[in-house]
Amino acid sequence: MLAPLPGLPAEFLLGAPETLRLHNQTFVLKTTLWRDMMPTVPSFDQPIIGIIKIETVDSSAITGDIDSDGVYIVYKGDVWRSHYDKDPPPDHPDSAPFRLLKIMRNGPKWGPKIYVDVIVRIIAGGNLYFLRASNQYVDATY
């Protein structure tokens, strides 16, 4: 079992860059976030679910030992953090050689129809880095 991600202040997380240069490649973060608000039991009013995509800006295949082990969400100064759910299957429709694809479940119950900042923790060459995507919309399914 993974050790919990460390609690970090919102100010630190919001200072993470929106592009990150590693192994002569530039990375950006893209997200799809939503809450399941379908009026069926037991799924009604579920926490945020997310698809997290860490991509090279030029769509070149990711080189090196780059991975991500956790995600932070910041909303109005509040910080939620967690490791990802299990890795998506290799045949997931969003899989690509230029993308690290992660699934986040059981997020906070903020929103829907709000904007949050998403920050991921990246591990490369034994070092830790952070990458941010600002103003990410939390949608809903009804």
For the stretch 102-132, pLDDT in tens is 999 999 999 999 999 999 999 999 999 999 9
Residue 2 lies inside a defined structural domain of this protein: no
Q: Predicted confidence band at 42 (pLDDT cuts at 50, 70, 90)?
A: low
Residue 46 lies inside a defined structural domain of this protein: yes
Residue 3 lies inside a defined structural domain of this protein: no
Parent domain of 122: 10-141
Question: Across all residues in the chain, what is the average pLDDT?
Answer: 92
- Enter the tokens of residue 74: 């910041």
Residue 140 burial class via C-beta count within 10 angstroms: exposed 0-12, middle 13-18, buried 19 and up = middle
**How far is it, in rounded angstroms, from Cα 48 to Cα 92?**
20
Residue 105 lies inside a defined structural domain of this protein: yes
Here the CATH number for the domain that contains residue 110 is 2.60.40
* Vertex 44: Cα angle to 40 and 46 (nearest 5): 145
Give the 3-state secondary structure of residue 14.
helix
Number of domains in the chain: 1
pLDDT digits 0-9 by tens, 31-41: 999 998 877 75
Kindly report the pTM of this predicted structure: 0.93
One-character DSSP codes across 44-79? TTPPPEEEEEEEETT-PPP-SSEEEEEEEEEETTEE
